[in-house]
A = this chain, B = another copy of it.
Amino acid sequence: MTDAREQQLAILHSMVRIRRVEERLSELFSQGKVPGFIHVSIGQEAIAAGVCSCLGPEDSVLTTHRGHGHALAKGIGLKRFMAEIYGRRDGFCKGKSGSMHIADKGVGVVGANGIVGGGLPISLGTALASQYRGEKTVTVCFFGDGASNQGTFHESLNIAALWSLPLVFCCENNGWAQFTPQARYMKVESVAERAEGYGIPGVTVDGNDVVRVREAALEAVARARRGDGPTLLECKVRRWLGHYVGDAQKYRPPEDVKGAKALDPIRAYADQLSAAGAIGPDGLADIELRVKAEIDEAVRFAGESPPAGPEELFTDVYA
């Protein structure tokens, strides 16, 4: 099997894995098995899979409240990921982070963030560390279209541009910020239009097309590795589901939901691959089987992992 084809299958697998993990998480949440609240990226998998396919474990990714996909695509281990979301001892953060603060230093998942726009300034620092040490590593900071109206967006892009930091600002523009449509929080249609004001490239791609996403990300990452500075990469998608699991979306016209779901990045890519003969008739089914087995095992693992002991409440406050 050629490298290119392996790569294609890996990306398809990555997308399917994200989708099924989040579907399962939604079920488990509805069954009351998951504490807190969770935000899924179903329908937006091409962005995580496409962008992270350009990164290695030594590269850093910062993500948001809607960060499962990025963490998974970046290579986070599913068992401990699941245990963390369950709030159990075997989670990557000993059950202290949950869905909204998932992290695994080991694979460069610096961390998710519950503060919209909160990760942007921090990504300056992780990228600066690469530059400071003369490493060729890069940082990708994921954020939403809503986040692009926070002051931190501005301060961060200005500084990243000024210092030519090895950083890719990846905006997942899904048209919504919680319960409010984009037209009510910004006048411009594309976040990428803001790049010019910092003197950096701004690129907008169809976030449902994983091939386009990967192409654009490859270029932005290469640019960052070369030392030529940051790129604002905007991936346009449409939010399939509610803001969080359990959101009835009363505020949202049903057609908007239907329209969003009409675009399925996974089906599109699978069709494309089979048309090109890269996967056979059962290609997708095989992936689904592998993914299901992995998820079943991870859910079992998480369910069997004990909650953190009482002493854990008081540890890790200070080094």
Near B by CB (< 8 A), chain A positions 186-223 give 186-188, 193-200
CB pair B161 A155 closer than 8 Å: no
Q: How far is the CB of A271 from chain B (nearest CB, A)?
A: 36
Chain A residues with a Cβ closer than 8 Å to the other chain, count:
23
CB pair A151 B149 closer than 8 Å: no
Write out the residue numbers on chain B whose beta carbons fall within 8 Å of the beta carbon of A153.
151, 154
Does A268 lie at the interface of the complex (its beta carbon under 8 Å from any beta carbon of B)? no
Q: Contact partner of A197 among B155, B193, B199, CB < 8 A?
A: B193
Does A185 lie at the interface of the complex (its beta carbon under 8 Å from any beta carbon of B)? yes
Given contact pairs A150-B151, A154-B149, A188 touches B199 in the complex (Cβ within 8 A): yes
In the bound complex, CA of A150 to CA of B153 (Å): 10
In the bound complex, CA of A196 to CA of B187 (Å): 10
Q: Contact partner of A158 among B155, B187, B200, CB < 8 A?
A: B187
CB pair A155 B151 closer than 8 Å: yes
Q: Which residue from chain B places its CB closest to the CB of A159 in the assembled complex?
A: B149
12 A–B contacts, CB within 8 A, in A order: A149-B154, A151-B153, A151-B154, A151-B155, A154-B154, A158-B187, A162-B185, A162-B187, A187-B199, A193-B196, A194-B194, A194-B197
